[in-house]
Structures are given as C-alpha cells and as structure tokens.
C-alpha cells in the first residue's frame, strides 16, 4: 500500500493523496442510510492525464477505484464497497468552453452545478443550464451519470438527455470521447454517431471516469414566473399533468405532497415554472397554462394558489436550500429518498403507496415528483427524514426505503440511482439477457474489476 | 464539548463551502486542502466521530481543526437556520477540546506560548509596543476623546507598523482627539479566543480592560478589525464596555472634514473585505465609502465581495501558525489572483493581517507589477491636502 | 348563530341602489335592474351579482343606510354554495390560516399593537412612533376577515369569537390593558364593523393605526421634517368598512408634508389591487386592475405609493417599484418624516 501511495503522490502531488484515518472515515459514507464502507485512501486528480495514470496504476495493483463528485447521491453509490481508492474529482472544476450559438458548455468532471450557474450568470446571462434540486456543490458529471433531472426537465428531459458528449477514462486507462467531440472539435451533440455515452450513464461509476462533458444550455429568460396548481384528488393528477404539459410552455413541473406543514396535508400541488422574454409573452404563457386546466377551475375542484410576488420568490430560488432543510425535520441531520422513475399514470397509486408506507413505518415523509419531458415520464420521490444519532430511527427510514423500492418496482417504476438493495431488486426484475449483456460489457471494459465493484452485481 | 448536541444535525450538504453566488470555493481550509474533511461539514462529522470514539484526535485531525480561519463563511451560508449561528462556536469548542486533550499542532502551541509569556505572538517585550509611533508626536492616552488601539501586527510587524503610522497620521489630519497606550496593553486576544484558548483570552482581555479603565477610556478606535471584534463583542462580557469603532468607521463619517485633492491618476480599486469588519460585524460600507469619496478613483468588485468575501487565510491564528499554507491553493494566493482578474491596479485592504497576507501572496503570484496591495488609509493619504 | 344585521325594508324603499349602481366591476342597465338583482339577493335567490362579485367590500361603503349589503351578499353566496374560488384553494387556505394553538400567555403593556397574521412585518413596530409597544401576532389572533372574499361567513362567525377570546385571555386581560392598536385595518374593520353586524361582542377597545399615528404625531411634532413628496394612496378593500378613518389619513399626511395626489382610483373610487381576483382565478381581470392602478399613479406624478394593507403591498409593490414609484407602508413613511 505504501508503494501505491508514493506512486500516487508522484502523479497528483503530495497534498492530494491521503490514507489518513480522517479521510478514510469521512469518505466511507454519504448522508443517506447505507452503512459505511471504508476506503484505503482518497486521491484527488487535477487532470485527465492524472486520472488515466491513476487508473493504470490501480490496474497494476488491482485496487478498486470509486469515482466521486459531490458525494451527495444519498444512496451510497460512492462508497468503496471493496476498499480501494475514492477518486474525489472536485479539483477538476474548470469550465473549458461555452458555445453561445450552439448553446452548450464543456466542463471538467468535477465542476459543480453552482459554479457553472455562476459562470453563466456572469459571462453569458442569456444562457442557463438545468440545475438539479441538489445542493450547488453537486457536480454536473455526477448528476448526468445518474440520469438526474432538474429545473429544465420538462423542456429538455433527463440531464442525460441534455448530454452532448463526454471524455471518459476507461477502466483500463485509455481516454475516449463520445459524441460529436470524438470526431469534431465541436461538442454539439451525440448524433449521428453510435451513442457510446450510454456506456457510462446509469452505471454507477462501474464503467469509467468522466473527466469532461458537454451539456446543452438553454435560453435564460428575462422574466420568469411560477404557478402553483392545487387539487385534492390524486387520481386527477395524470390528467392535470397531461393538460399542463400539452401547452409546451413550462420549463419545470414539480408536484409536491407533504404532511408538514399541517395545512398542506392531503393536497396535491404542482409547481409550474415558466419564463419569457417579455411581460406580454409571460402573460400569454400563463394564460395557456391556466386555460389548459380550465375544466378543473369551472368544476371548482382545482385551481391556482394566489401568491404575491414576494412569496413566490422562495419557490423560484434555484437551487433552493429548502430541500436540504428536510434533513432537520427530526432534528437529526438526515434524509434519504427513493426516486422512482415511472409512467405518469401511476401517480395516484404511487402517492397512496407512499402514505401507507410512511404511516406503517412511522417515518416523517415528504413526497413529490418531477415531470420529465412533455409528460413523458416522471421521477416520483419519497423522502424520509431520520435522526442520524438514533439508530432505531435510521433503521425505520431504511425499512421504509426498501419497502418503497419494492412498491415502485411493483407498479412498474424503477428506483433511480438505486442503493445496493434496490439494485438487487432491479436485477431480479430485469430481462436476464439484458443483465447478461451488462456483465459482458463490464467484462470487456474492466477486465480487472476495479471500477466501483459491488455495484450492479448479483449477490 | 459545548454544542455537541448539534453535531449530528449537520447534513453535510456543502452550502458552507461556497459563497451565496456559488462562484468558487469560499471556505479557506477547504480551498487549501480540498478533502471533504477540511470543510465545515467535514469537521462537524469528524468531531462527532471523535466523541463517539470512532476516530482519535490525531495530529492530522488537529491540523484539520486548527486550519479553520474562523472567517464565518459557513455561518453565513449554512442552509440550516436553526443552528447555523453556532457553527463557529462548535469549531472553537472543538479546538478547545483538542487543547484540553493536549493534541495541538506545534505552531499553534508556539503561538499561544508566546502570547502567554509576552502578551504578544512576536515574543517581544510590551514596552516595544508603541515603537511604531516614534516621532509621530502622538500623545499617550490621558483625557483625549479616543484611545487608538493598535493590535500585535500593527505594533510589531514592519509592514503593520507602516499601516499603524498611516492610520494615525490621517486621524491627526482629521482633527480627531486621540491618544495611544505605552505598552501596558497586551494582545487583543481575538484570535486566541477563536483558537479556543478561552482562559488565556480572558486573561488578556482583563489586563486590557484594567488598563482601559485605569486610564478612563470611553471610546476606542481600532487599527485591526480583529481588535474591533474582541473589544466590541467579547470585552463587554468581562466588564469592559466601551464605544468601539474600526478606524474606517470613524473616517467614513469624517470625510467631510478632510481636504482631498485630485491626484492626476484615476486608479481602479478593488476592496477586500476583512472578515472581522464584514461578516462578523456586518460593516461592508465604511471602507467603500472612503474609497468612493477619493477624487477620480473607481471601485470594482471581485466576484466574491461583502458577505461573500473570501478570507485571506490569516484568521484564527493562521497568520502566525501558517497551517493554511498550501502552495498555489493558499487562500491568500487565490484571493490575489481573484483581485487581479478584476483589472484593478490597487487591492485595498482594511486590516494589517490581510495587508501582509495578500502582499506576500501577490508577490509569490508575480502580480506585483499589475496589482499593488495597499491599506485603505495609505491609499487615502495620497489624496490628502496637508493641514 | 346570529343572522347578519340587515333590514330588507330599507332596500325595498331604496331608490338609488347605490350598493350596486356604484359598483366598479358589475354593470347594470338601470336602477331597476340593479334593484331586481338586489331584491333577489335579499330573498335568498340566485343573482348574477353573486357570481360576478369581486368581493371588494365597496358596497358596504356605498350603502347610505349602513344596511350591510356586502355581508349579506357573502352570506347568500355561502348559502347557495357559490364559492368564488375553487374548493381546494379555499380549504387549503382555511387550514393554513387556521388557529394553531401555539399562543402563550404574555404580559403586555400599552400600546399593544396587533400585527394580525403578518409576523414578517413586526419589524415595522419600531422607533419613537411605537416607543414601548408590545407586539402581538400570529394565526391564533388572525382577524379572519379575509373569508369575506371566499363566501365563508361561517368561518368568520366561528373563528372571530375565538380570536377575541385569545386576545383577551392570553394578552390583554391579565395585563389590565383595554386598548389594542390594529396595525392592519382589516382587524379594525373586523372589530368595529363585522363584529357588530354579526352579533359578536368585542370586550376591548380597538384603535385604528391611523388614529394612533395621528395622535403620536402631535406628541412628536418637534421631530417632524416635512417630506414634501407626492404620494398615491392604494386604498384597500378593508377600509371600505371603516371609511371614517380615511379622513384621519388626510390629517396624518398633512402633518408629515405629504401630498395625497388626487387619483382617479382613490377614496370612493379606489380600485382593487388585484390580489383577490387571482385567488378567484380571474387573472386577466387582475392584470387589468394592476395596469389601471399603476398608470393612474404614474399619471398623477406620484413618487411614493403608500399602502395601508400589507397584502396590497405584496401584490402591487413589485410592479409599482418596477415603474419607478417607491412602494411603502404608511407607518414607514411616517417614520421617514420623523427622521428614522
């Protein structure tokens, strides 16, 4: 091990390798409920070349490598399940290109969502990218790799749909490019080539290390607004979502259902964010959205919450710290959620299952969803808060999460960025030949089984 | 440990690492070392693990704790309103626990020992304190309106002394009635307190309070924002109640009394907010009011300014202990590069520690031809018409 | 539960039907049509007025006989199930604004200022103007008059007595305080207009903010520096219930040297801020009201737009500011004149 550490230090510099107990402790877990798994060391590369050298070294020593961005996945995907090294990518945080005409940005693998947001605000105020509801230190690469979604997902789909191409260090150390940048100097998209980006998205870091990526940017509007639709019957939600998305004017649509504060319990809300270049256009878009659900208003069974501008501001903050504050519901610094990607028509069923599971397990919950595309699917989330200092409480949350994963799969959904137990549940339901193909691909890419081993494996 | 009941409530979401506009890492220790362990959230989790006997108080852990410069960015940015105000107190309590357990980095121990023995971290005799004022004709404090309190850096550091002289000169020109002490005083204790050595802080503070009270001091002007913080916010708890202002606060409202001239040049200035004037005492305007009043001068802001300002890395004793030194990732160097990017030719500072830290950093970065680091009073002095 | 105080005979004999003829939002062919509609309302029958009403409270002011036309209208809307807003909007707000039982006994001393359900505005109670004031606030003492906009007289009848009990039992009684200053004039309207009309007893003496300020300005006369500014006043719906206080505002403005410029939409012809129509899902109407208000303020060259109702300010403030007019609460304007 000492020899490996010395050689790593030669690659990245003395300061950026640690096998000290403090780093090994902290990098053994994330904020969710998955038990710790201690790495042997933590390395922080500063360039693609360094990543490549590290990976080659890892092959030489047959040491596992776990790439990590913000480390905020909550489902424990960046734990070193079989020891080895955590590759903390956040030193690689340069924004290398913004193309305002073809609307894309190229960033390094450790660039944070917040940093790109700040950069665009300053240098390209006419552009923006889709931010997830994660804290701003979350990385773009990490979020794209887990098929994240965000505040432009009605407009542009999953963040993996907004990917134009990647530079990836393979598990054997070669540096490959996917998308147009593999042929051209421009990062305009994945077409018309065979889409190799798919080899790295949804794989939980088992197929390579993303060192650079190009993502789509979108027009940033001068004016933006938010509507909050409210109704009481979950059965109405698929139709409401379908009508609202049919207008094709929303950027983001996020239903939310929460028992805290108490007044909100039992009500279905949908935040609908949209923007425009002029006030006239904004009013026009609002009218389109309102007209689409007029029937609900006429029947008096649904409508839009009246909300003066100062109150709206809180709901329009991107990213909003309100979400992480859920961790303090039980004054215990913790929450984890099941985000189940599923078809819209399961909304009511998904909601009922959530209430039932939360009540059965006596956990504090909050539910919601993010509509993806023009109502093409949704990420339905069940968040459970727990007290980190209370083992029993954590176990309760863990039980609720497992039951929720099972329920989501049962209704045809698929847990997103699945924890280890959920990965097993998914593999059980997956077409056997599909899983066999996954294994063949991994075998080819990673003959020494060094990349985040333990994930996407049948136990 | 004090406040240990909130340690587990930190989610480690990382808002504490950034400024509110997310432009770059804004925690000096995390910027320097980049391991999660050095971020405020990391410290919270490590302290909890230590108290739960999951890890020990190793040498590295001590470095992690004492690398905190107490800049207050985490308090400003933490997403949890119910306990964010306590973060720095938690870290101070953590450092205190390390001191109690005898696990202290050597430079920190040296720093504290020197202050303990000599009343200042330079290990120099107290009577040399007023040497900076030689030949300036400043009276010792007797019945003047203000006491001008000069911190350790202003009293003993060559560069600090220049700044102390510059400020005193302007106070004289503004016709402010003030006097200084003759070495009876000791270190303000501000950074000793941030390091968690509370008994030593109290000893220092009591000594100073005794001196102030004996001399009948009512109003104090401080050279350093660190002194401002200690005297204004911590001395009252020990019975020392004075009207305390940083010199920029007093001058901002005395600009009318000073005659300013055109200088012929129109310098572009960027201002670096000192943590103890800004985030700790919410004054972002006084130094800017002064700079903006200088004929022909323009002020440009760095991306991180006011409550988002990035610390020079000198707080929490780090000015003396140098634990935050991290080559090109040292906070001072990062800050100097940020200042240079504004295109300003002057980087104005309002704290002797910031002045030394950033001047050194600009030199190492090879920026001295493009960016001059000057203290606000020094910039101002060039505009004053004598008499 | 008591019926609304109302005398049908007065309406039968009324020749002008001011309550409807003066309405700015519903048109009638002639007095005869208005009277027919009014009599339908009185008789508990359906009238288009019940559907079209903006719930601006103005008819309370227009009626020369104080015959409570608006309170009756709301009663009828509820009886006939004619909710002006979708059910979930109303039920969720009923929960949101309901008493939470979080109130605790607290000693208070005069002046006691009731900040209604606006905890974010307690900072307004400061300085010499409010020297020594005790502030009470929260949904447990919320005046609940807002339900007039949602056909929920039943809620008012149920909650207002509860709120009055809370104010007395948790604050005023034990401290021996008899007066309470209503920062929001909806509260004053509740205790001096709604309560008597609904047969609810009020055991304390409500004091309108304007009366309090006006009196304080006499005491602080030496500190006043006249502002010499032109202000447009956005008169809120609640002031329709207590029009006598509008004259006190004139006295205040005179004392602080602010000119209340005559607007098309002030005093009896004040126009709704647009907040409530949005709750009624009538956004296009709300847009129109906002535009008319703003243009009117610009036309008269106002520098400030002063608000008495925090909700009006929240609704219109941003738009007002974007048009170069400074939105400000009346108490803040007065504090400016006091050099604070």
Query: pLDDT for C221-276, tens place per residue?
Result: 999 999 999 999 999 999 999 999 999 999 999 999 999 999 999 999 999 999 99
- Determine the pLDDT at residue C3: 81
Domain A222-418 in the same topology as domain A2-88 = no
User: Is A21 part of the contact surface with chain B (CB cutoff 8 Å)?
Assistant: yes
Portion 286-305 of C in contact with A at CB < 8 A:
287
Question: Contacts of residue A122 in chain B, CB cutoff 8 Å?
Answer: 23, 303
Domain definitions of chain A by residue range: 2-88, 95-219, 222-418
- Residue A142: list chain B partners with CB under 8 A: none
* Residues contacting residue A4 through CB under 8 Å, at least 6 positions apart: A41, A57, A61, A63
Query: Which of C88, C99, C152 has the most A C-beta neighbours within 10 Å, making it the best mutation to test the interface with A?
Result: C88
Residue A110 confidence (pLDDT): 98
- Check CB contact under 8 Å for C281 and A230: no
Q: Report the 10 Å Cβ neighbour count for B255.
A: 15
Domain A95-219: CATH class, spelled out: alpha beta
B to A contact (≥3 Cβ pairs closer than 8 Å): yes
Beta bridge pairs of residue A387: A333
In whole angstroms, give the CA distance from residue C80 to residue C83: 9
Domains of chain C: 8-79 (no CATH), 94-213 (3.40.50), 221-337 (3.40.50.1860)
Nearest to A136 among B18, B33, B80 (CB): B18
User: Inter-axis angle of helices A237-246 and A279-292, to 10 degrees?
Assistant: 140
Contacts of B15 in chain A (CB under 8 A): 135-137, 321, 324
Interface with chain C: mutation pick from A272, A300, A302, A316, highest number of C CBs within 10 Å: A300
A2-88: CATH topology is 3.30.43
Q: What are the Cα distances from residue C107, in Å, to C103, C110, C112, C118, C170? A: 13, 10, 10, 20, 8
Residue A17: its chain B contacts at CB < 8 A? none
For residue A115, CA distances in Å to B77, C57, C291 come to 15, 51, 39
Digit-coded pLDDT (tens) for A315-340 = 999 999 999 999 999 999 999 999 99
Candidates A74, A333, A76, A116; CA nearest to B78 is A333
What's chain C's average pLDDT? 96
Is residue B262 a contact partner of residue B298, using CB atoms and an 8 Å limit?
Answer: no
Contact between chains at C276 and A306 (C-beta distance less than 8 A):
yes
Tokens for B16? 């504490």
> How many residue pairs bridge chain A and chain C with CB atoms within 8 Å of each other?
65
CA C224/CA C218 separation, integer angstroms? 10
Whether B327 contacts chain A with CB within 8 A: yes
The answer to whether C217 touches C224, Cβ cutoff 8 Å, is yes
Instruction: Please tell me the predicted confidence (pLDDT) of residue B256.
Output: 82
How far is it, in rounded angstroms, from Cα B362 to Cα A208? 40
- The residue among A284, A291, A306, A316 with the most chain C CBs within 10 A of its CB, best to mutate, is A306
Contacts with A309 from chain C: Cβ below 8 Å: 314-315, 317-318
Q: Give the residue, A310 or C142, on which the prediction is more confident.
A: C142
Task: Name the DSSP letter for residue A83.
Answer: B
Nearest to B376 by CA among B317, B299, B281: B299
- Any CB–CB contact under 8 A between C92 and chain A? yes
Residue A292 CA, chain-centre distance (Å), reads: 30
CA A64 to CA C253: how far, in whole Å? Answer: 76
In the structure, do chain C and chain A come into contact, i.e. share 3 or more CB pairs under 8 Å?
yes
Mean pLDDT of A116-135: 98
Which residue shows structure tokens 């709120």?
Answer: C163
Give me the pLDDT at residue C2, please.
57
φ/ψ of A300, rounded to 5, equals 65, 25
Work out whether strand C205-208 and strand C229-234 pair parallel, antiparallel, or are unpaired.
Answer: unpaired
Expressed in angstroms, the distance from the first to the final Cα of chain A is: 28
- Looking at the DSSP assignment, which residues form a beta bridge with residue B260? B384
Which chains pack against B, by 3+ Cβ pairs within 8 A?
A
**Which among B150, B182, B184 has a CA at the least distance from the CA of B166?**
B150
pLDDT digit of tens for each residue in chain B (387 aa)? 999 999 999 999 999 999 999 999 999 999 999 999 999 999 999 999 999 999 999 999 999 999 999 999 999 999 999 999 999 999 999 999 999 999 999 999 999 999 999 999 999 999 999 999 999 999 999 999 999 999 999 999 999 999 999 999 999 999 999 999 999 999 999 999 999 999 999 999 999 999 999 999 999 999 999 999 999 999 999 999 999 999 999 999 888 888 999 988 899 999 999 999 999 999 999 999 999 999 999 999 999 999 999 999 999 999 999 999 999 999 999 999 999 999 999 999 999 999 999 999 999 999 989 999 999 999 999 999 875
Q: What does the DSSP 8-state code read for residue C284?
A: H
Rounded alpha-carbon distances, angstroms, from residue A402 to A195, A389, A420: 33, 21, 10
* Chain B touched by A238 (CB under 8 Å): no
Using the Cβ of A411 and the Cβ atoms of chain C, whether some distance falls under 8 Å is answered with no
Contact A328 B54 (CB under 8 A): no
Q: Give the domain A222-418 fold.
A: Vanillyl-alcohol Oxidase; Chain A, domain 3 (3.40.462)
At residue A370, what are phi and psi to the nearest 5 degrees?
-125, 125
Subunits adjacent to chain A (3 or more Cβ pairs under 8 Å): B, C
Q: What is the mean pLDDT of residues C298-306?
A: 96
Nearest to B54 among A16, A25, A42 (CB): A25
Using the Cβ of C102 and the Cβ atoms of chain A, whether some distance falls under 8 Å is answered with: no
CA gap B380, B322 in Å, rounded = 30
CB C181, CB C113: distance < 8 Å:
yes
Beta bridge partners of residue C179, listed in sequence order: C205
For all residues of chain A together, what is the average pLDDT?
97
Query: How far is Cα A418 from Cα A424, in angstroms, rounded to an integer?
Result: 9
CB contact under 8 A, B60 and A22: yes
Interface test with A, best of B22, B103, B328 (most A CBs within 10 A): B22
Which tens digit of pLDDT belongs to each residue from A5-60? Answer: 999 999 999 999 999 999 999 999 999 999 999 999 999 999 999 999 999 999 99
C-alpha–C-alpha distance, residues C278 and C290, integer Å: 11
Residue C183 and residue C225 in contact, taking contact as beta carbons nearer than 8 Å:
no
DSSP β-ladder status, A163-169 and A209-216: antiparallel
- For residue A333, the SS3 value is strand
Do C279 and A306 make contact, defined as CB atoms within 8 angstroms?
yes
Half-sphere exposure of A336 (CA within 13 A, CB side): 33
DSSP A221: P
Mean pLDDT of A191-217: 97
> CA B104, B109, B114 angle in degrees (round to 5)?
165
Closest chain C residue by Cα to residue A231: C88
**Is the pLDDT confidence value at A155 over 60?**
yes
B52 touches chain A (CB under 8 A): no
Distance separating alpha carbons of residues A326 and A364, to the nearest angstrom: 9
Cβ atoms of C105 and C166 closer than 8 Å: no
**Burial of A125 per CB tally in 10 Å (0-12, 13-18, 19+):** exposed
What's the pLDDT at C1? 47
Q: What is d(CA A28, CA A20) in angstroms, rounded to the nearest whole number?
A: 12
Q: For A300, which of C86, C284, C318 is closest by C-beta distance?
A: C86
Report the gap between the CA of C32 and the closest CA in chain A (Å).
31
> For chain C, how big is the Rg over CA atoms in Å?
20
Distance CA A58, CA A50 (A): 12
Residue A27 touches partner B, C-beta closer than 8 Å: yes
To the nearest whole Å, the CA of C295 is away from the closest chain A CA by 16
């Amino acid at each position: 091990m000492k020899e490996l550490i010395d050689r790593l230090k030669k690659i990245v510099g003395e300061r950026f390798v640690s096998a000290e107990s403090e780093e090994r402790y902290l990098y053994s877990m994330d904020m969710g409920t998955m038990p710790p798994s201690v790495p042997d060391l933590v390395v922080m590369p500063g360039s693609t070349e360094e990543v490549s050298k590290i990976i080659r070294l890892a092959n030489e020593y047959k040491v596992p490598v776990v790439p990590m961005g913000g480390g905020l996945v909550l489902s424990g995907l960046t734990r070193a399940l079989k020891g080895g090294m955590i590759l903390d990518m956040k030193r690689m945080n340069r924004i290398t290109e913004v193309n305002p005409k073809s609307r894309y940005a190229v960033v390094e693998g450790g660039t944070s969502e917040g940093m790109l947001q700040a950069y665009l605000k300053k240098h390209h105020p006419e552009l923006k990218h889709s931010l997830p509801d994660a804290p701003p230190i979350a990385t773009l690469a990490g979020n794209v790799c887990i098929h994240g979604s965000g505040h432009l997902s009605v407009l542009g789909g999953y963040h993996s749909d907004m990917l134009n191409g990647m530079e990836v260090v393979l598990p054997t150390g070669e540096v490959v490019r996917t998308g147009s940048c593999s042929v051209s100097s421009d990062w305009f998209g994945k077409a018309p080539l065979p889409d190799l980006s798919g080899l790295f998205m949804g794989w939980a870091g088992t197929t390579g290390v993303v060192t650079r990526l190009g993502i789509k940017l979108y027009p940033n509007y001068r004016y933006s607004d938010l509507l909050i639709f409210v109704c009481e019957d979950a059965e109405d939600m698929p139709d409401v979502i379908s009508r609202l998305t049919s207008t094709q004017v929303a950027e983001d649509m996020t239903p939310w259902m929460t028992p805290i504060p108490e007044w909100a319990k039992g009500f279905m809300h949908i935040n609908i964010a949209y923007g425009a270049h002029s006030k006239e256009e904004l009013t026009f878009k609002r009218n389109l959205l309102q007209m689409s659900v007029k029937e609900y208003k006429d029947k008096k069974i649904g409508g839009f919450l009246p909300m003066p501008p100062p109150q709206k501001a809180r709901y329009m903050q991107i990213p909003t710290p309100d979400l992480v504050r859920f961790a303090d519901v039980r004054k215990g610094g913790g929450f984890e959620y099941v985000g189940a990607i599923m078809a819209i028509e399961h909304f009511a069923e998904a909601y009922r299952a959530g209430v039932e599971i939360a009540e059965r397990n006596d956990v504090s919950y909050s539910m919601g969803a993010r509509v993806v595309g023009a109502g093409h699917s949704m990420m339905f989330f069940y968040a459970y808060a727990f007290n980190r200092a209370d083992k029993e409480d954590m176990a309760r949350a863990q039980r609720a999460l497992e039951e929720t994963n099972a329920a989501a799969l049962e209704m045809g959904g698929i847990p997103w960025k699945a924890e280890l137990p959920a990965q097993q549940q998914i593999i059980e339901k997956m077409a056997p030949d599909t899983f066999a193909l996954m294994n063949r691909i991994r075998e080819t890419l990673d003959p020494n089984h060094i990349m985040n081993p333990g994930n996407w494996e049948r136990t | 440990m004090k406040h240990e009941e909130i340690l587990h409530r930190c989610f480690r979401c990382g808002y504490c690492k950034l400024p509110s506009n997310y432009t770059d890492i804004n925690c000096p220790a995390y910027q320097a070392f980049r391991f999660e362990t050095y971020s405020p959230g990391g410290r919270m989790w490590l302290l909890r693990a230590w108290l739960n006997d999951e890890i020990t108080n190793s040498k590295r852990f001590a470095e992690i704790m004492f690398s905190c410069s107490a800049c207050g960015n985490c308090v400003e940015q933490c997403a949890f309103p119910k306990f964010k105000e306590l973060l720095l107190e938690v870290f101070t309590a953590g450092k205190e626990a390390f001191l109690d357990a005898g696990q202290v980095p050597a430079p920190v121990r040296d720093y504290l020992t020197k202050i303990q023995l000599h009343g200042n971290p330079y290990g120099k005799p107290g009577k040399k304190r007023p040497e900076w004022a030689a030949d300036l004709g400043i009276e010792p404090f007797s019945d003047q309106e203000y006491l001008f309190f000069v911190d350790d850096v202003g009293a003993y550091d060559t560069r600090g002394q220049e700044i102390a002289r510059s400020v005193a000169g302007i106070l004289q020109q503004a016709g402010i009635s003030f006097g200084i002490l003759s070495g009876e005083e000791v270190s303000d204790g501000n950074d000793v307190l941030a390091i968690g050595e509370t008994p030593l802080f109290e000893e220092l503070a009591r000594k100073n309070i005794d001196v102030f009270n004996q001399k009948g001091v009512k109003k104090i002007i401080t050279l350093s924002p660190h002194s401002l913080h200690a005297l204004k916010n911590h001395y009252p708890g020990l019975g020392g109640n004075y009207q305390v202002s940083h010199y920029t606060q007093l001058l901002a409202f005395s600009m009318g009394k000073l005659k300013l001239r055109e200088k012929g040049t129109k310098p572009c200035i960027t201002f670096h907010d000192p943590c103890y004037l800004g985030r700790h005492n919410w004054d972002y305007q006084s130094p800017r009011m002064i700079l903006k009043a200088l004929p022909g001068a323009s002020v440009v802001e760095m991306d991180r300014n006011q409550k988002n300002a990035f610390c020079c890395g000198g707080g929490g004793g780090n000015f003396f202990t140098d634990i935050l030194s991290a080559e090109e990732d040292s906070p001072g160097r990062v800050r100097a590069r940020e200042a240079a990017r504004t295109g300003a030719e002057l980087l104005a500072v309002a704290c002797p520690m910031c002045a030394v830290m950033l001047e050194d950093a600009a030199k190492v970065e090879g920026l001295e031809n493009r960016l001059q680091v000057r203290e606000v009073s020094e910039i101002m002095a060039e505009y004053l018409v004598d008499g | 539960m008591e019926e609304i105080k109302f005398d049908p005979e007065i309406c039968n004999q009324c020749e002008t039907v001011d309550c409807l003829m003066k309405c700015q939002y519903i048109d009638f062919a002639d007095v005869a049509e208005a009277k027919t509609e009014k009599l339908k309302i009185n008789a508990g029958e359906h009238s288009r007025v019940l559907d079209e009403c903006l719930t601006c409270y103005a008819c309370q002011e227009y009626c020369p006989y104080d015959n409570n036309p608006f309170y009756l209208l709301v009663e009828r809307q509820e009886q006939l199930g004619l909710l002006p807003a979708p059910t979930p909007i109303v039920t969720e707000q009923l929960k949101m604004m309901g008493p939470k039982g979080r109130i605790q006994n607290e000693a208070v001393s005069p002046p006691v200022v009731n900040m209604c359900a606006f905890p974010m505005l307690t900072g307004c109670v400061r300085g010499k103007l409010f020297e020594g004031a005790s502030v009470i606030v929260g949904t447990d003492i919320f005046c609940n008059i807002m339900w007039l906009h949602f056909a929920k007289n039943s809620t008012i009848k149920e909650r207002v007595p509860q709120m009055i009990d809370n104010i007395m039992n948790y604050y005023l009684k034990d401290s021996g305080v008899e007066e309470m200053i209503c920062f929001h004039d909806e509260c004053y309207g509740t205790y001096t207009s709604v309560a008597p009309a609904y047969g609810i007893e009020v055991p304390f003496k409500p004091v309108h903010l304007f009366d309090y300020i006006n009196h304080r300005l006499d005491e602080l006369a030496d500190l006043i520096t006249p502002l010499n500014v032109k202000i447009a006043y956005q008169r809120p719906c609640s002031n329709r219930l207590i029009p006598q206080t509008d004259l006190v505002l004139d006295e205040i403005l005179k004392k602080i040297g602010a000119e209340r410029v005559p607007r098309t939409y002030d005093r009896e012809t004040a126009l709704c801020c647009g907040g409530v129509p949005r709750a009624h899902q009538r956004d296009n109407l709300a847009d129109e009201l906002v535009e008319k208000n703003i243009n009117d303020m610009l036309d008269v060259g106002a520098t400030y737009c002063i608000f008495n109702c925090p909700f009006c300010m929240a609704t219109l403030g941003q738009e007002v500011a974007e048009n170069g007019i400074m939105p400000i609460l009346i108490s803040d304007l007065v504090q400016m004149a006091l050099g604070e």
